[in-house]
Each structure stands twice: as structure tokens, then as C-alpha cells.
Amino acid sequence: MAKDRTSFLCSECGAVQAQWAGRCPECGEWDVLAPFTEPAAGTDPVEARIASTDPRAPAPTARPITSIELGEVPRIASGIEEVDRVLGGGFVPGASILLGGDPGVGKSTLLMQIAGALSQSGGVVLYASSEESAAQVRLRADRLGATSQSDASERLLVLAETDLGRILAEARRVNPRILLLDSIQMTWLGSSGGGTDASRAGAGAASQLRRCATELALLAKQTGITVLIVGHVTKDGQLAGPKLLEHLVDVVLAFEGDRHHRHRILRGVKNRFGSTHEIGLFQMTGDGLESMSEHSVHFDEDERPSPGAAIVPTLAGSRCLLAEIQALSATGFLGSAKRRASGLDAARLAMLIAVLEKHGGLRLADQDVFVSVAGGLRIQEPAADLAAALAIAGVHAGRALPPATAVFGELTLSGKVRPASGADQRVSEAIRRGAHSVLVPASQVEDLPQDQAVRVHGVHRLVDALEHLIALPSSRLEGALPGQVESSGLPLEDDVAPFGASR
């Protein structure tokens, strides 16, 4: 067997270096490298520990794939529909799950709601808190209704403890259906059971995190207890010690959302038992997190068209959500214009601006451009290109899409509109939510069911889509001074002037 060797681990970014340095070469942070003993290459630390616990176990032998029996993966429904959706049907016994998210996003709230729901469906739950006192945990549980059934609350056990050794021992003794740990950063593990002050002080350090996660994953595999661990996110949005923990656990979930807004999104980042396509939607209310089966964008025909906004039906797993993309442009400095994207990829935004300049005839070189997705959603699919481009073009030219219009399609560098997957699902969702017209890639119009096709406009190129932007009469331009709009040289025929007419 190969020998273990000592490497140096960055506590900020999780990168591993062969030699110590004052500054991490990966993330550039100072004084973050700490020595740790890396297991020999190719060994999964959890598997290695399991193997080492039973030296008499027969060595596995290779066999034909078809001779392997397929067992159904058993699932324990969490009792919260949106959580089960992301997990692919519920918790798998013996799985270790890492739940990451910014401070204040609602991780402890979600954890306690899961604890309440599972104990009410008959399971024993062990809630280990290393951050809050038992009384604080009780207070939150009462507030969230997790203790509303007296027989169920007997099964909800709370342990306020930072010593992971004791948490593990208690979990083995109680043998709960699920162990919830809030949070791993605040726990520590002594070198041989008993803790030293040095290891306590090292709680949250990379080597401690790794050891704690390994022990938790091991507990899960050996006992069949599902382990759900909360992990904090560092300032640049990475799960603390990302590379460190992610490969030690079976499932990584990210809980996202802006603490100033109510919407929260639970996303699968890694899932050994299912896909990572599904997302769970919640909103934070006074009574905790509420599952949302639908996102809140609705089309309203009477709403005034607003330049700088476009609605895209975007696919998230098996469902389609309507997202509003908003754009703002303002005069900046040629050569150093700002481009900021929130909820969209920044590199994609830069590309869209270039395409708008080259193939849409817009002059944006000296314009600061800001684009964001409303409601804290994050869109990664290129099908949102056309909506983002129309929002930018609209706000730049003071034009808007007609009311109740949805738009989707990928833009190529040559200014063409490429088809997007799931076109009919997108169109029917837009229509169901009240859209009157939908701009779709021209090549997909024929594939759409006939009854939908009446409201559908196919677009071949970016310029075709720009034609759908309409000029707004001065009264509709909020804040515009009289005469300002006329002087911009745009024609003002109410709702009909095509974009191209101004050029």
C-alpha cells in the first residue's frame, strides 16, 4: 500500500499544495496553508476507513456488469415536497448530505423544518447544534411548529455540543433515522477521542473540516443513519473548503437566495443517487420556509410596457419557471465601461453586448450595462440570451416589448437565434401564465402544437427580434421630461414603430 504523505491545504479555497508557502498560489490569500496528511492517492478516505475496520472481509473481485443485482434505492420522504424533489425522492439511508449557504439564508430554519416533519412521520431525529444552545433550538422549533405534536416531539432529540466525538457517540447510542448537524464549521474532533485545546481552537480549519466530514460520512455508511450537515459559504460564495468536503459526502445541496428577499432556492450541486437538475423553491415567511410550487412572475396584459425588462421561460429540471431579466444602461467611459451581471454569467453578458453591437447596430462601447434576474433566480442556460439582449437593447433605445410577451432562444456569435430545448414546454408555460405572444427561434415554430402557434412569432436573427421592440410615447416613459423623447429621434407611433425604423 502506498504511504500517506503530508501536503498543505488552503483553508480559503481548499487547494492542495505540495510545499508550504506564505501565500496560497491558487486564491492569493496570505497565511492560509496548513499541513495535513493526505491519504495515499486513489483511496477514498471513507472507504479506506470502512475497509480498515474489518480486515477479515474478503477482497472484492471483478465480475460482469450484468451479474450485479439492482436493488431499489430506498428513500425516506422528508415530508417537505421541495426538498424531496431536489433529493430525487427523499433521503437515502446511510447517505451523507452537505447543505451549504450564506449566513442568514435559512439553513437552520430548513433543518429544523425537516426535523419536525420527519419526527412527525414517525422517525427518531437527532438535531445536533454546535452553534446554538439547546434553548435557542427549542425556541426556533416551537416557532416553526416542529413541536406541535406532543408524541412527535418525543422523537425529536436535541444535543447542543461542539465535540464531534460526543455527537458521534450519541448518534450511535440513539440510532436516529437522521442526524442533523448545524454546523460542521463549529465542531472539532480531538486526535484520539479526547479533545485537546489545540483541536478545539482549530474548529473550522481545513484539516478539522475534513476529519469531521470523514467521520460523519463513515457513521452514515456504517449505521445507515442519514447525515445532513450544514456548511457555511465563504465570502466568494464557495462552500468553505469546497474540494475538501464535496467528494467526502454523497450529496451536496446549495441553499441560495438574497437575505433581503423572500425567495429561496435549494439546488443539487452533486447527487450520487439522482440528478442535479431539479431545484426546490421556497419563500421565507414569519412562520418559516414555505414551499412554492410556482415562481411568482405573472403576465399582466394591462401592465405598462417597461423598457429594460424581458420575461424568459427557463427550464429548471422538470419544471419551467418564468424569470424576468432586467437591464439598465448608463453613460460610462469609453474603454472602461462597466458590465455587471447578477443571476447571469458575466462572460455571457460580455458576449451578448458584443453581438448587440455587431449585429444589432447598438453602440454600447461607452455604456455601463447592468443586467440582473429578478427574484434571486440564477439562469445558466443560453436559452435566456435573447431575453437578456432585448432587455439591454430596450433600455438603451427607450423601447419595450409589447405587454405580456415572453421570449427565449440562444444567440450565436453571428447574430442568429438558435433553437432551445423544451420549446413547447416553455411556450405552454408562458401561455398558461398569461402571455399573449412568445418570440421563439424560427426553426422551432413548426414543432409547436397548432393551438399554440397562433401567438408565436418565429425569429431567425437578432435583428428580427429587435423589430418587436416598440417605441413608447413620452407619457409612458416614466420621468421623461417633455420633448426629451422626441429629441432622441425615435418615431413615436403608439406601440407600432418597429425597432429597425429608427436606424
- Upper half-sphere CA count for residue 244 (Cβ side, 13 Å): 30
- Distance CA(265)–CA(257), nearest Å, equals 6
For residue 491, state whether it binds ligand TYD (rule: CB under 6 A). Answer: no
Among 319, 323, 248, 426, which Cα is nearest to 85's?
319
CB atoms within 10 A of CB 300: 9
Binding at 106: pick from Mg ion, ligand TYD, none (beta carbon under 5-8 Å per type): ligand TYD
Is residue 237 at the binding interface for ligand TYD, with CB under 6 A as the rule?
no
Nearest approach in angstroms of CB 185 to Mg ion is: 10
Cell of 65: 456488469
Quick check: 108 binds ligand TYD (CB under 6 A)? yes
Give every CB contact of residue 130 below 8 A, 6+ residues apart in sequence. 160, 161, 162, 167, 181, 182, 183, 186, 187
Angle between the 206-223 and 164-174 helix axes, to the nearest 10 degrees? 10
Min. distance of Cβ 78 from Mg ion in angstroms?
18
Based on the shown chain and the rule CB under 6 A, indicate whether residue 107 belongs to the binding site for ligand TYD.
yes
Q: Which amino acid is at 284?
A: M
Residue 108 interacts with Mg ion (CB under 5 A)? yes
Helix, coil or strand: residue 258: coil
Q: Within positions 131 to 150, which residues make up the interface with ligand TYD, using CB under 6 A?
A: 140, 143-144
**8-state DSSP, 95:** -
Q: Which is nearer to Mg ion, 110 or 390 (CB)?
A: 110
Q: Which lies closer to ligand TYD via its Cβ, residue 103 or residue 500?
A: 103
Site size toward ligand TYD, by CB under 6 A: 15
Q: Which amino acid is at 436?
A: H
Three cell numbers at 128?
A: 445536533
Span interacting with Mg ion, options 107-115, 246-254, 413-421, 440-448, rule CB under 5 A = 107-115
Residues whose CB falls within 8 Å of the CB of residue 171, separated by 6 or more in sequence, listed in order: 126, 128, 179, 219, 223, 225
State yes or no: residue 105 binds ligand TYD (CB under 6 A): yes
- The residue sitting closest to Mg ion, measured at its beta carbon, is 108
Q: Which does 491 bind (CB under 5 to 8 A by kind): ligand TYD, Mg ion, none?
A: none
State in angstroms the smallest separation of the CB of 116 from Mg ion: 16
Contact region with ligand TYD (CB under 6 A), list: 97-105, 213-221, 364-372, 490-498: 97-105
Site map 287..316 versus ligand TYD, x via CB under 6 A: xx----------------------------
Residue 199: name its binding partner from ligand TYD, Mg ion, none (Cβ under 5 to 8 Å by kind): none
- Taking CB under 5 A as the binding criterion, the range among 101-109, 303-311, 339-347, 354-362 that sits at the site for Mg ion is 101-109
Radius of gyration of the chain (CA): 27
- In whole angstroms, the minimum distance from the beta carbon of 284 to ligand TYD comes to 5
Judged by CB under 5 A, the number of residues near Mg ion is: 1
* Torsion sign (Cα): 395, 400, 403, 404: negative
Nearer of residues 132 and 467 to Mg ion, judged by Cβ? 132
Please tell me whether residue 116 binds ligand TYD under the rule CB under 6 A.
Answer: no
Contacts of residue 352, defined as CB under 8 A and 6 or more positions apart, other chains included, come to 385, 388, 389, 392, 411
- Binding-site partner at residue 101 among Mg ion, ligand TYD, none, CB < 5 to 8 Å by type: ligand TYD
Query: Does residue 267 belong to the site contacting ligand TYD (CB under 6 A)?
Result: no
The three-state DSSP-derived secondary structure of 435-475 is CCEEEEEHHHCCCCCHHHHCCEEEECEHHHHHCCCEECCHH
Question: Does 103 help bind ligand TYD (rule: CB under 6 A)?
Answer: yes
Distance CA 234, CA 239 (A): 6
Q: What DSSP designation does 50 have?
A: H
CB 239 to ligand TYD: min, Å: 13
> By rule CB under 6 A, what string of x and - marks binding of each residue 361-400 to ligand TYD?
----------------------------------------
The DSSP output letter for 76 is: B
Query: Between 288 and 313, whose beta carbon lies closer to ligand TYD?
Result: 288
- CB nearer ligand TYD, residue 264 or residue 416: 264
Residues 6+ apart with CB under 8 A from 440: 407, 408, 409, 423, 426, 427, 448, 456, 457, 458, 459
Choose from ligand TYD, Mg ion, none: what does 25 bind? Cβ within 5-8 Å by kind: none
Binding site for ligand TYD (CB under 6 A): 101, 103-109, 140, 143-144, 284, 286-288
Q: Which residues bind Mg ion (CB under 5 A)?
A: 108
